[in-house]
Amino acid sequence: MKNRLKIFYKKDGGIVQLIDKEKMKEWSIELPLIFTEYIRYNQLNSYNDPKLKKEIEKYLDEVLTDVAIPGLIEVLDGDNVEEVNKALVRIEELAKKNIEMVKPIKPYVEKLVKKNNKEVQKLSNSIINKFKKAERKKELAEKRKIMQEKEKLFLAGNLSGEEYAQARKEYLVLKE
């Protein structure tokens, strides 16, 4: 019997076993992507071993490039509109949960916006908008952090009123 699990060794003699990527080829198309992100965000930090973490991250990247993305691209690039729609619905659901999870397929969704099918266009636009919103949110969070630093500097008298006003203006423009 072919081993269905890949073994990674811990420094302390323990192991981490992960399902073999070949098995994932039998899964529904969105699942390998969910799996990689799940392990990355929920399990990786619990292993407490930098070398092991690196090895597992490398394996997850392999899963992404060898199984998850090709699976989705194959469907998105295909002519079967029904399948494309189904895939887009799943991608949209994933994007709602965690936009980072579907980031690798953004270029392929962007191509679909031009496709001559209303439903495909609608779903792809909805996903692209989610990307835009997420990017804006990220940018705003970074600016907010900078603004807080500048506020501290201003209150401590280490930043001129003019410089503070300029930073505040930039922040408010982005916020709107």
Positions in the binding site for other proteins (CB under 8 A) = 1, 3-5, 7, 10, 13-19, 23, 28, 30-31, 34-35, 38-39, 42-43, 46-47
Identify the residue whose tokens are 């779903």. 123
Nearest distance, CB of residue 37 and other proteins, angstroms: 10
Question: What value does the CA radius of gyration of the chain take, rounded to a whole number of Å?
Answer: 22
- The helix or strand, by DSSP H or E, that contains position 56, with its residue range, turns out to be helix 50-63
- Cα–Cα distance measured from residue 71 to residue 88, given in angstroms and rounded to the nearest whole number: 13
Q: Which is nearer to other proteins, 16 or 84 (CB)?
A: 16
The span from the CA of 76 to the CA of 88, in Å, is 8
Q: What are phi and psi of 97, to 5 degrees?
A: -75, -50
Q: How far is the CB of 27 from other proteins (least distance, A)?
A: 8
Of 43 and 158, nearer to other proteins (C-beta) is 43
Q: Which is nearer to other proteins, 74 or 93 (CB)?
A: 93
| Residue 35 CA, distance from chain mean position | 12
Closest CB 62 distance from other proteins, rounded Å: 15
* Nearest distance from C-beta of residue 106 to other proteins, angstroms: 23
Between 60 and 120, CB nearer to other proteins: 60
Q: Between 5 and 81, whose beta carbon lies closer to other proteins?
A: 5
Q: How far is the CB of 16 from other proteins (least distance, A)?
A: 4
- Residue 116 to residue 119: CA distance in whole angstroms: 9
The residue type at 66 = D
